Amino acid sequence: MKNRIYFFTGTGNSLNAAQNIVKALPECELIVIRKDTPLEVPTDYERVGFVFPNYSGGPPKMVANFIRNMKLPNQNNTYLFAVATYGGNAGSIIAQIGEQLKQRNWQLHYGAAILSYPNAVTIYPMIKGVRLFTRIAEGRTKRVVKKIVTKQLLSIPVLKESAQKRYENYMAQIPNSDSGYHVNDACISCGICKKVCPAKDITIDDGKPVFHHQCESCMACIQHCPKRAINYQDKTQKRGRYAHPDVDYKMIIRYYGQ
Ligand SMILES: Cc1cc2nc3c(=O)[nH]c(=O)nc-3n(C[C@H](O)[C@H](O)[C@H](O)COP(=O)(O)O)c2cc1C
Ligand code: SF4
Ligand code: SF4
Protein backbone atom coordinates (compact mmCIF):
# COMPACT_ATOMS: atom_id res chain seq x y z
CA MET A 1 0.00 0.00 0.00
CA LYS A 2 1.05 3.56 -0.63
CA ASN A 3 2.34 6.11 1.86
CA ARG A 4 2.31 9.89 1.74
CA ILE A 5 4.19 12.62 3.58
CA TYR A 6 3.23 16.29 3.60
CA PHE A 7 6.02 18.70 4.53
CA PHE A 8 6.80 22.36 5.08
CA THR A 9 10.30 23.85 5.41
CA GLY A 10 12.16 27.14 5.54
CA THR A 11 15.82 26.19 5.92
CA GLY A 12 15.70 22.49 5.06
CA ASN A 13 15.71 20.71 8.44
CA SER A 14 12.18 19.42 7.99
CA LEU A 15 12.67 18.62 4.30
CA ASN A 16 15.76 16.56 5.19
CA ALA A 17 13.85 14.66 7.90
CA ALA A 18 10.95 14.09 5.50
CA GLN A 19 13.29 12.80 2.79
CA ASN A 20 14.81 10.32 5.23
CA ILE A 21 11.38 9.01 6.19
CA VAL A 22 10.39 8.77 2.52
CA LYS A 23 13.43 6.57 1.81
CA ALA A 24 12.37 4.08 4.48
CA LEU A 25 8.76 3.65 3.36
CA PRO A 26 7.56 1.77 0.27
CA GLU A 27 5.83 3.78 -2.47
CA CYS A 28 6.03 6.98 -0.46
CA GLU A 29 5.01 10.29 -2.03
CA LEU A 30 6.44 13.57 -0.76
CA ILE A 31 4.02 16.47 -1.07
CA VAL A 32 4.88 20.06 -0.27
CA ILE A 33 2.39 22.12 1.72
CA ARG A 34 1.90 25.47 0.03
CA LYS A 35 -1.12 27.61 -0.76
CA ASP A 36 -2.20 25.54 -3.78
CA THR A 37 -1.57 22.04 -2.40
CA PRO A 38 -4.60 19.91 -3.38
CA LEU A 39 -6.75 19.41 -0.29
CA GLU A 40 -7.89 15.89 -1.10
CA VAL A 41 -6.08 13.35 1.06
CA PRO A 42 -6.36 9.74 -0.16
CA THR A 43 -8.29 7.43 2.16
CA ASP A 44 -6.69 4.13 1.22
CA TYR A 45 -3.07 4.93 2.10
CA GLU A 46 -1.21 2.91 4.70
CA ARG A 47 0.46 5.90 6.33
CA VAL A 48 -0.01 9.66 6.03
CA GLY A 49 2.51 11.89 7.76
CA PHE A 50 3.17 15.59 8.36
CA VAL A 51 6.71 16.93 8.78
CA PHE A 52 7.28 20.59 9.64
CA PRO A 53 9.17 22.98 11.93
CA ASN A 54 7.96 23.87 15.40
CA TYR A 55 6.91 27.51 15.65
CA SER A 56 6.16 28.43 19.24
CA GLY A 57 4.69 25.07 20.15
CA GLY A 58 2.70 24.46 16.99
CA PRO A 59 3.00 23.96 13.24
CA PRO A 60 3.45 26.85 10.76
CA LYS A 61 0.25 28.68 9.87
CA MET A 62 0.20 27.14 6.41
CA VAL A 63 0.33 23.62 7.84
CA ALA A 64 -2.43 24.43 10.34
CA ASN A 65 -4.54 25.87 7.48
CA PHE A 66 -3.98 22.78 5.37
CA ILE A 67 -5.11 20.54 8.22
CA ARG A 68 -8.13 22.77 8.83
CA ASN A 69 -9.22 22.53 5.18
CA MET A 70 -8.02 19.14 3.94
CA LYS A 71 -10.60 16.76 2.64
CA LEU A 72 -10.44 13.28 4.07
CA PRO A 73 -13.87 11.76 4.38
CA ASN A 74 -12.69 8.73 6.33
CA GLN A 75 -9.42 7.86 8.05
CA ASN A 76 -10.16 4.12 7.91
CA ASN A 77 -6.99 2.21 8.82
CA THR A 78 -4.57 4.95 7.80
CA TYR A 79 -1.72 5.29 10.29
CA LEU A 80 -1.25 8.97 10.92
CA PHE A 81 2.00 10.49 12.16
CA ALA A 82 3.53 13.92 12.73
CA VAL A 83 7.20 14.83 13.00
CA ALA A 84 8.30 18.32 14.06
CA THR A 85 11.86 19.59 13.87
CA TYR A 86 12.67 22.09 16.60
CA GLY A 87 15.58 24.16 17.82
CA GLY A 88 15.67 23.51 21.55
CA ASN A 89 12.21 23.76 23.05
CA ALA A 90 9.67 21.38 21.57
CA GLY A 91 6.95 22.77 23.88
CA SER A 92 3.52 21.31 23.20
CA ILE A 93 4.10 20.60 19.54
CA ILE A 94 2.79 17.02 19.55
CA ALA A 95 -0.23 17.90 21.70
CA GLN A 96 -0.96 20.87 19.42
CA ILE A 97 -0.82 18.92 16.16
CA GLY A 98 -2.78 16.09 17.80
CA GLU A 99 -5.49 18.58 18.77
CA GLN A 100 -5.63 20.16 15.29
CA LEU A 101 -6.09 16.71 13.73
CA LYS A 102 -8.66 15.74 16.34
CA GLN A 103 -10.73 18.78 15.35
CA ARG A 104 -10.95 17.14 11.91
CA ASN A 105 -11.84 13.72 13.37
CA TRP A 106 -8.39 12.35 12.62
CA GLN A 107 -6.58 10.30 15.21
CA LEU A 108 -2.84 10.97 15.45
CA HIS A 109 -1.15 7.62 16.05
CA TYR A 110 2.42 8.79 16.54
CA GLY A 111 4.27 12.07 16.95
CA ALA A 112 7.95 12.91 17.43
CA ALA A 113 10.09 16.02 17.77
CA ILE A 114 13.58 16.07 16.28
CA LEU A 115 16.16 18.44 17.75
CA SER A 116 17.67 20.36 14.83
CA TYR A 117 19.63 23.54 14.22
CA PRO A 118 17.72 26.59 15.61
CA ASN A 119 17.13 28.76 12.53
CA ALA A 120 15.23 31.84 13.73
CA VAL A 121 17.86 34.42 12.79
CA THR A 122 15.49 37.36 13.38
CA ILE A 123 15.29 36.32 17.05
CA TYR A 124 18.79 35.05 17.94
CA PRO A 125 22.27 34.71 16.40
CA MET A 126 23.16 31.64 14.38
CA ILE A 127 25.29 29.61 16.78
CA LYS A 128 28.25 27.36 16.02
CA GLY A 129 27.78 23.61 15.78
CA VAL A 130 25.91 23.05 12.52
CA ARG A 131 27.62 19.67 12.07
CA LEU A 132 26.81 18.59 15.60
CA PHE A 133 23.14 19.57 15.25
CA THR A 134 23.02 17.78 11.90
CA ARG A 135 24.45 14.60 13.44
CA ILE A 136 22.04 14.75 16.38
CA ALA A 137 19.08 15.24 14.05
CA GLU A 138 20.23 12.36 11.84
CA GLY A 139 20.48 9.98 14.80
CA ARG A 140 17.08 10.96 16.15
CA THR A 141 15.51 10.75 12.69
CA LYS A 142 16.79 7.17 12.32
CA ARG A 143 15.08 6.18 15.59
CA VAL A 144 11.88 7.97 14.59
CA VAL A 145 11.89 6.28 11.16
CA LYS A 146 12.02 2.84 12.82
CA LYS A 147 8.95 3.71 14.85
CA ILE A 148 7.05 4.94 11.81
CA VAL A 149 8.00 1.85 9.79
CA THR A 150 6.70 -0.45 12.55
CA LYS A 151 3.66 1.79 13.11
CA GLN A 152 4.32 2.43 16.79
CA LEU A 153 1.51 3.99 18.74
CA LEU A 154 2.01 6.92 21.06
CA SER A 155 -0.36 8.24 23.64
CA ILE A 156 -0.80 11.82 22.40
CA PRO A 157 -0.64 14.36 25.27
CA VAL A 158 -3.60 16.63 25.92
CA LEU A 159 -3.09 20.26 24.89
CA LYS A 160 -3.04 22.70 27.80
CA GLU A 161 -5.07 25.89 27.42
CA SER A 162 -2.05 28.07 28.26
CA ALA A 163 0.00 26.43 25.47
CA GLN A 164 -2.86 26.91 23.02
CA LYS A 165 -3.09 30.64 23.91
CA ARG A 166 0.67 31.13 23.54
CA TYR A 167 0.62 29.53 20.10
CA GLU A 168 -2.45 31.48 18.97
CA ASN A 169 -1.01 34.81 20.13
CA TYR A 170 2.22 34.06 18.35
CA MET A 171 0.49 32.99 15.14
CA ALA A 172 -1.66 36.13 15.03
CA GLN A 173 1.40 38.31 14.41
CA ILE A 174 3.09 36.00 11.90
CA PRO A 175 1.69 37.36 8.59
CA ASN A 176 3.07 40.83 9.37
CA SER A 177 6.38 39.57 10.65
CA ASP A 178 7.95 40.58 7.32
CA SER A 179 7.37 44.28 8.20
CA GLY A 180 10.83 44.45 9.73
CA TYR A 181 12.60 43.16 6.61
CA HIS A 182 14.60 45.54 4.43
CA VAL A 183 16.98 45.03 1.52
CA ASN A 184 20.33 46.71 1.01
CA ASP A 185 22.38 47.60 -2.07
CA ALA A 186 24.16 44.23 -2.09
CA CYS A 187 21.02 42.79 -3.72
CA ILE A 188 21.74 41.47 -7.22
CA SER A 189 18.07 40.94 -8.16
CA CYS A 190 18.58 37.17 -8.46
CA GLY A 191 15.04 36.40 -7.27
CA ILE A 192 16.08 33.51 -5.00
CA CYS A 193 14.23 35.06 -2.05
CA LYS A 194 11.03 35.13 -4.10
CA LYS A 195 11.46 31.54 -5.30
CA VAL A 196 12.15 29.97 -1.90
CA CYS A 197 9.22 31.73 -0.24
CA PRO A 198 6.50 29.17 0.58
CA ALA A 199 3.90 31.90 1.01
CA LYS A 200 4.37 33.74 -2.32
CA ASP A 201 4.86 36.77 -0.11
CA ILE A 202 7.59 38.35 -2.23
CA THR A 203 7.53 40.08 -5.60
CA ILE A 204 10.57 41.59 -7.28
CA ASP A 205 9.71 45.19 -8.12
CA ASP A 206 12.33 47.35 -9.87
CA GLY A 207 14.86 44.63 -9.14
CA LYS A 208 14.28 44.51 -5.38
CA PRO A 209 12.14 42.19 -3.26
CA VAL A 210 8.93 43.64 -1.86
CA PHE A 211 7.13 41.88 1.01
CA HIS A 212 3.34 41.62 1.06
CA HIS A 213 2.49 40.70 4.65
CA GLN A 214 1.42 37.14 4.00
CA CYS A 215 4.58 35.92 5.68
CA GLU A 216 4.98 32.53 7.38
CA SER A 217 8.11 33.68 9.22
CA CYS A 218 9.96 30.66 7.84
CA MET A 219 13.28 32.55 7.43
CA ALA A 220 13.87 31.13 3.94
CA CYS A 221 14.35 34.51 2.21
CA ILE A 222 16.76 35.97 4.74
CA GLN A 223 18.67 32.71 5.18
CA HIS A 224 19.06 31.75 1.50
CA CYS A 225 19.89 35.19 0.05
CA PRO A 226 23.37 34.68 -1.46
CA LYS A 227 24.38 38.30 -0.78
CA ARG A 228 22.95 38.55 2.75
CA ALA A 229 21.13 41.57 1.40
CA ILE A 230 17.99 40.99 3.48
CA ASN A 231 18.02 42.06 7.11
CA TYR A 232 15.50 42.26 9.88
CA GLN A 233 15.35 45.65 11.62
CA ASP A 234 18.86 46.21 13.00
CA LYS A 235 19.10 42.70 14.40
CA THR A 236 20.61 40.47 11.74
CA GLN A 237 23.42 42.48 10.12
CA LYS A 238 26.09 40.80 12.22
CA ARG A 239 24.41 37.43 12.56
CA GLY A 240 25.42 34.48 10.39
CA ARG A 241 23.05 32.63 8.11
CA TYR A 242 21.97 29.00 8.13
CA ALA A 243 20.63 26.38 5.78
CA HIS A 244 20.71 22.61 6.27
CA PRO A 245 24.04 21.44 4.76
CA ASP A 246 22.33 18.72 2.66
CA VAL A 247 19.45 20.88 1.44
CA ASP A 248 20.48 23.26 -1.29
CA TYR A 249 18.21 26.29 -1.89
CA LYS A 250 17.65 24.88 -5.40
CA MET A 251 15.98 21.87 -3.82
CA ILE A 252 13.59 24.17 -1.95
CA ILE A 253 12.89 26.13 -5.14
CA ARG A 254 11.85 22.87 -6.80
CA TYR A 255 8.98 22.67 -4.30
CA TYR A 256 8.05 26.32 -3.81
CA GLY A 257 9.41 28.12 -6.81
CA GLN A 258 6.81 27.78 -9.56
C1 LIG B 1 9.19 31.62 13.53
C2 LIG B 1 9.96 30.55 14.21
C3 LIG B 1 9.59 30.11 15.46
C4 LIG B 1 10.30 29.08 16.09
N5 LIG B 1 9.90 28.65 17.31
C6 LIG B 1 10.57 27.65 17.91
C7 LIG B 1 10.17 27.18 19.19
O8 LIG B 1 9.19 27.65 19.79
N9 LIG B 1 10.89 26.18 19.76
C10 LIG B 1 11.98 25.62 19.12
O11 LIG B 1 12.60 24.72 19.68
N12 LIG B 1 12.39 26.03 17.90
C13 LIG B 1 11.70 27.03 17.29
N14 LIG B 1 12.11 27.46 16.05
C15 LIG B 1 13.24 26.79 15.38
C16 LIG B 1 12.77 25.81 14.30
O17 LIG B 1 11.67 25.05 14.74
C18 LIG B 1 13.87 24.82 13.87
O19 LIG B 1 15.06 25.48 13.58
C20 LIG B 1 13.40 24.00 12.68
O21 LIG B 1 14.19 22.84 12.58
C22 LIG B 1 13.46 24.74 11.36
O23 LIG B 1 12.99 23.87 10.35
P24 LIG B 1 13.18 24.11 8.79
O25 LIG B 1 14.67 24.14 8.54
O26 LIG B 1 12.53 22.94 8.16
O27 LIG B 1 12.54 25.40 8.45
C28 LIG B 1 11.42 28.49 15.43
C29 LIG B 1 11.79 28.94 14.17
C30 LIG B 1 11.08 29.96 13.57
C31 LIG B 1 11.51 30.42 12.21
S1 SF4 C 1 17.88 36.71 -2.80
FE2 SF4 C 1 19.01 38.50 -2.05
S3 SF4 C 1 20.18 39.15 -3.82
FE4 SF4 C 1 18.59 37.80 -4.61
S5 SF4 C 1 16.86 39.18 -5.12
FE6 SF4 C 1 16.54 38.47 -3.04
S7 SF4 C 1 17.47 40.07 -1.77
FE8 SF4 C 1 18.28 40.35 -3.83
S1 SF4 D 1 8.71 36.40 3.22
FE2 SF4 D 1 10.55 35.28 3.84
S3 SF4 D 1 10.14 34.64 5.96
FE4 SF4 D 1 8.18 35.25 5.06
S5 SF4 D 1 7.30 33.34 4.25
FE6 SF4 D 1 8.43 34.27 2.59
S7 SF4 D 1 10.46 33.37 2.69
FE8 SF4 D 1 9.46 32.95 4.64
Assess whether 80 and 122 both reside in one domain.
yes
Assess whether 188 and 147 both reside in one domain.
no
Assess whether 17 and 89 both reside in one domain.
yes
Q: Is the C-beta atom of 220 inside 6 A of ligand 2?
A: no
Give the Å distance between the CA of 225 and the centre of ligand 2: 5
Assess whether 132 and 205 both reside in one domain.
no
Task: Report residue 258's pLDDT band, with 50, 70 and 90 as the boundaries.
Answer: low
d(CA 65, CA 59): 10
Residue where a domain stops, chosen among 114, 147, 169 = 169
Assess whether 58 and 106 both reside in one domain.
yes
Please report, rounded to a whole number, the percentage of residues in the chain having pLDDT higher than 90: 96
Assess whether 142 and 45 both reside in one domain.
yes
Residue where a domain stops, chosen among 169, 194, 216 = 169
Smallest-distance ligand from the CA of 256: 3
How many domains is the chain partitioned into structurally? 2
| Tens-digit pLDDT profile for residues 59-75 | 999 999 999 999 988 88
Whether residue 25 has pLDDT greater than 70: yes
Assess whether 183 and 76 both reside in one domain.
no
Give the Å distance between the CA of 27 and the centre of ligand 1: 29
Range 193-214 burial, b when 16+ CB lie within 10 A, else e? bbbbbbbebbeeeeeebebeeb
Write out residues with Cβ below 6 Å of ligand 3: 10, 178, 196-199, 201-202, 211, 215-221
pLDDT of residue 74: 86
The domain of 199 spans 177-256
Residue where a domain stops, chosen among 134, 169, 204 = 169
Whether residue 257 has pLDDT greater than 90: no
Atom 4, ligand 2: residue with shortest CA distance:
190
Assess whether 194 and 165 both reside in one domain.
no
Assess whether 15 and 87 both reside in one domain.
yes
CATH for 243: 3.30.70.20
pLDDT of residue 31: 98
Q: Is the C-beta atom of 12 inside 6 A of ligand 1?
A: yes
Assess whether 119 and 154 both reside in one domain.
yes
User: Which residues pair with residue 51 across a beta bridge?
Assistant: 7, 83
User: Which residues pair with residue 4 across a beta bridge?
Assistant: 29, 48
Q: What is the mean pLDDT of the chain?
A: 97
Question: Per-residue pLDDT averaged across 208-225, rounded?
Answer: 98
Beta carbons within 8 Å of 58's beta carbon, 6+ residues apart:
64, 92, 93, 96, 97, 100, 167, 170, 171
Whether residue 255 has pLDDT greater than 80: yes
By C-alpha distance, which of 5, 2, 11, 3 is closest to 137? Answer: 11
Alpha carbon 178 to its chain centroid, in Å, reads 17
pLDDT of residue 1: 82
Atom 7, ligand 1: residue with shortest CA distance:
56
By C-alpha distance, which of 185, 234, 227, 193 is closest to 210? Answer: 193
The helix (H) or strand (E) run that includes residue 114 is strand 110-115
CATH for 52: 3.40.50.360
Assess whether 40 and 151 both reside in one domain.
yes
Give the Å distance between the CA of 119 and the centre of ligand 2: 19
What is the DSSP pairing of strand 230-232 with strand 208-211? unpaired
Atom 8, ligand 3: residue with shortest CA distance:
218
Give the Å distance between the CA of 149 and the centre of ligand 3: 33
Smallest-distance ligand from the CA of 202: 3
pLDDT of residue 191: 97
Q: Please count the other Cβ atoms lying within 10 Å of the Cβ belonging to residue 239.
A: 18
d(CA 120, CA 101): 26
Assess whether 151 and 193 both reside in one domain.
no
| Tens-digit pLDDT profile for residues 124-159 | 999 999 999 999 999 999 999 999 999 999 999 999
> Which atom belonging to ligand 3 lies closest to the Cα atom of 211?
1
Question: Per-residue pLDDT averaged across 217-230, rounded?
Answer: 98
Which phi and psi angles does 47 have, rounded to 5°? -135, 140
Are 111 and 81 a contacting pair, CB within 8 Å?
yes
Whether residue 185 has pLDDT greater than 90: yes
